[in-house]
């Protein structure tokens, strides 16, 4: 899953605008089949050859500015060119050994490669370089959360929120932790905060709806899943969640349609296929 590539820049101009990525969380299964989603806000130009070329031109004009390498590394990572991304992040760190964003971004690439120990080490380095660099707390918290180390994850998300109370990702992912341990009311509070900060993204609605569904409020859950599919028509899990809510409300026909839509988007999704069998 994608997390947050940080862009720290002073001189990079318009090339940076295409490089900003915000992503929230990863998928978390809930009892009863409810599953939260992932937020990704980016632009098609982020990883384009033209954008990378323009970033390379900026680097050539100022080869001792670590920000240029950090931004181009983020673009490479979005394109799946991890070797090139790691090279750029390393160059940024070589120029500025206290560059927290480069450590944090390199950690994300390591995490995508399954190199969790290296990712944790880089998040730790980012925090050591700058104790107020909140994206590193979120990134490290994501690793702890996915490993089931809930207390450590909560501590990191709390730290991120204390530093920046407008970080929708931190609220969303803290909500996932509360959700995983059955504290659904607190999860709902955090998902609501994430929605208030990032209202155009689907994942907080999916997350909040899953907690409403887990607490037996299928009608309110359905409202949230409807909002989620409005924001991302291609989110197969959101359609599954909508189907689950409709099924609980006794609307078998529309539940089947939602499950079928999910199965069409992702034929591997077992919850979609089993939902179709139950409601067909």
CATH number of the domain where residue 273 is located? 1.25.40.10
Q: What is the 3-state secondary structure (H, E, C) of 200-241?
A: CCCHHHHHHHHHHHHCCCHHHHHHHHHHHHHHCCCCHHHHHH
Q: Is residue 7 part of a domain?
A: no
Of 12-26, 49-63, 178-192, 262-276, the one with minimum mean pLDDT is: 12-26
My answer on whether 168 and 236 are in the same domain is no
More confident residue, 72 or 45: 72
Q: Is residue 1 part of a domain?
A: no
Q: Is residue 114 part of a domain?
A: yes
CA distances from 208 to 95, 150, 172, 199 (A): 43, 19, 9, 13
My answer on whether 195 and 65 are in the same domain is yes
Number of neighbours of residue 200 by Cβ within 10 angstroms: 9
Share of the chain above pLDDT 70, in %: 83
pLDDT band at 4; cut points 50, 70, 90: low
Residue 43 scores a pLDDT above 90: no
According to DSSP, residue 148 is labeled: T
Domain boundary among 198, 215, 232: 215
Number of domains in the chain: 2
Q: Among 9, 137, 131, 136, which Cα is nearest to 70's?
A: 9
Per-residue exposure over 147-156, b if at least 16 CB sit within 10 Å of its own CB, e if not? eeebebbbeb
Q: Which residues contact 185 (CB under 8 A, 6 or more apart)?
A: 211, 215
Domain boundary among 165, 200, 215: 215
Residues 100-113: tens digit of each pLDDT: 999 999 999 999 99
Of 1-10, 52-61, 127-136, the one with minimum mean pLDDT is: 1-10
Sign of CA dihedral 234, 240, 241, 245: positive
Domain boundary among 215, 240, 259: 215
Predicted pLDDT at 46: 57
Residue 29 scores a pLDDT above 50: no
Angle at 24 between CA 194 and CA 32, to 5 degrees: 85
Q: Is residue 251 part of a domain?
A: yes
Tokens encoding 218? 């299928």
pLDDT band at 98; cut points 50, 70, 90: very high
Residues 213-225: tens digit of each pLDDT: 999 999 999 999 9
Mean pLDDT of 124-152: 97
Q: Is residue 3 part of a domain?
A: no
117 lies in which domain range? 13-215
Q: Is residue 257 part of a domain?
A: yes
Q: Is residue 223 part of a domain?
A: yes
Residue 38 scores a pLDDT above 60: no
pLDDT band at 50; cut points 50, 70, 90: confident
Mean pLDDT of 39-49: 51
Say if CB 177 and CB 211 are below 8 A apart.
Answer: no
Give the whole-angstrom CA distance, residue 98 versus residue 73: 17
pLDDT band at 37; cut points 50, 70, 90: very low
Predicted pLDDT at 214: 97
My answer on whether 50 and 102 are in the same domain is yes
As beta bridge partners, residue 176 has none
Residues 15-26: tens digit of each pLDDT: 332 222 333 333
pLDDT band at 49; cut points 50, 70, 90: confident
My answer on whether 160 and 236 are in the same domain is no
pLDDT band at 48; cut points 50, 70, 90: confident
Q: Is residue 4 part of a domain?
A: no
My answer on whether 67 and 197 are in the same domain is yes
Mean pLDDT of 1-14: 44
Mean pLDDT of 129-150: 97
pLDDT band at 42; cut points 50, 70, 90: very low
Predicted pLDDT at 36: 31
Residue 207 scores a pLDDT above 90: yes
Q: The pTM is what?
A: 0.84
My answer on whether 34 and 49 are in the same domain is yes
Angle at 122 between CA 147 and CA 110, to 5 degrees: 65
My answer on whether 209 and 255 are in the same domain is no
Q: Among 112, 114, 113, 134, which Cα is nearest to 123's?
A: 134
My answer on whether 263 and 204 are in the same domain is no
Mean pLDDT of 183-207: 97
Share of the chain above pLDDT 90, in %: 81
My answer on whether 55 and 173 are in the same domain is yes
My answer on whether 121 and 148 are in the same domain is yes
My answer on whether 99 and 227 are in the same domain is no
My answer on whether 140 and 275 are in the same domain is no
């Amino acid at each position: 899953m994608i997390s947050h590539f940080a862009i720290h820049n002073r001189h990079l101009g318009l090339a940076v605008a295409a490089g900003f990525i915000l992503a929230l969380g990863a998928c978390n299964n809930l009892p009863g089949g409810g599953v939260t989603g992932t937020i990704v806000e980016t632009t098609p130009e982020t990883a384009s050859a033209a954008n990378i070329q323009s970033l390379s031109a900026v680097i050539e004009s100022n080869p001792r500015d670590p920000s240029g390498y950090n931004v181009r590394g983020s673009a490479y990572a979005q394109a799946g060119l991890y070797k090139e991304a790691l090279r750029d992040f390393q160059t940024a760190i070589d120029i500025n050994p206290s560059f927290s964003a480069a450590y944090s971004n390199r950690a994300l690439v390591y995490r995508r490669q399954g190199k969790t120990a290296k990712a944790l080490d880089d998040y730790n380095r980012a925090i050591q370089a700058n104790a107020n660099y909140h994206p590193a707390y979120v990134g490290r918290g994501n690793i702890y959360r996915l490993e089931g180390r809930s207390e450590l994850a909560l501590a990191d998300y709390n730290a991120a929120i204390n530093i920046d109370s407008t970080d929708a990702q931190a609220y969303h992912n803290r909500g996932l932790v509360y959700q995983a341990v059955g504290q659904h009311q607190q999860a709902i509070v955090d998902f609501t905060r994430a929605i208030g900060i990032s209202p155009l993204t689907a994942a907080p609605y999916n997350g909040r709806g899953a907690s409403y569904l887990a607490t037996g409020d299928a009608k309110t859950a359905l409202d949230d899943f409807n909002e989620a599919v409005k924001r991302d028509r291609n989110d197969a899990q959101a359609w599954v969640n909508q189907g689950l809510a409709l099924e609980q409300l006794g609307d078998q026909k529309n539940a089947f349609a939602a499950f079928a839509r999910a199965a069409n988007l992702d034929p591997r999704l077992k919850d979609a296929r089993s939902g179709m069998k139950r409601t067909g």
